[in-house]
């Protein structure tokens, strides 16, 4: 099946620093990538949708200047949490979707990144 990787799996940083999370589709080209945030024992909250080569579309209430998303290629998207604060601590999950081919229509998820801001 389709594989999506995320790196790092876990990161601890000091308040005020920036953290970059990478999301890669390993065996298919992801036309669209999604970034979610998940709070403990809660469902996924969609933060933004990105299409390769264009600006991300952010959901209402998500600060685009704080959560920078870049979708530079069909296999890589990055989420940068700028000037992180403790309230940004969360589990961040990416997913990827192809619009054609064997893996079309289905979102495939990365393993998630646990961010802890001290």
Partner 1 sequence: AQSVAQPEDQVNVAEGNPLTVKCTYSVSGNPYLFWYVQYPNRGLQFLLKYITGDNLVKGSYGFEAEFNKSQTSFHLKKPSALVSDSALYFCAVRAHLTGGQNFVFGPGTRLSVLP
Interacting residues with partner 1 (CB under 8 A): 1-2, 4, 6, 34, 42-44, 46, 49, 91, 93, 95, 99, 105-112, 114
User: What minimum distance in Å lies between the beta carbon of 89 and partner 1?
Assistant: 14
Question: The tokens of 14 are what?
Answer: 């000091």
Question: Which residue in 13, 3, 40, 1 sits closest to 115, CA to CA?
Answer: 13
Rank residues 66 and 109 by Cβ distance to partner 1 and give the closer one. 109
Question: Which residue in 104, 114, 117, 89 sits closest to 25, CA to CA?
Answer: 104
Question: The tokens of 48 are what?
Answer: 């933004």
Rank residues 16 and 55 by Cβ distance to partner 1 and give the closer one. 55
User: What minimum distance in Å lies between the beta carbon of 72 and partner 1?
Assistant: 21
């Amino acid at each position: 099946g389709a594989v999506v990787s995320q790196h790092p799996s876990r990161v601890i940083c000091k308040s005020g620093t920036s953290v970059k999370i990478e999301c890669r589709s390993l065996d298919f080209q992801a036309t669209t990538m999604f970034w979610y945030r998940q709070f403990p024992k809660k469902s996924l909250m969609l933060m933004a949708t990105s299409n390769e080569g264009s600006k991300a579309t952010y959901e209402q209430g998500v600060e685009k200047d704080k959560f920078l998303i870049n979708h530079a290629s069909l296999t890589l998207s990055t989420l940068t949490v700028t000037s992180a604060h403790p309230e940004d601590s969360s589990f961040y999950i990416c997913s990827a979707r192809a619009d054609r081919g064997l893996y079309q229509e289905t979102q495939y998820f990365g393993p998630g990144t646990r961010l802890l801001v001290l």
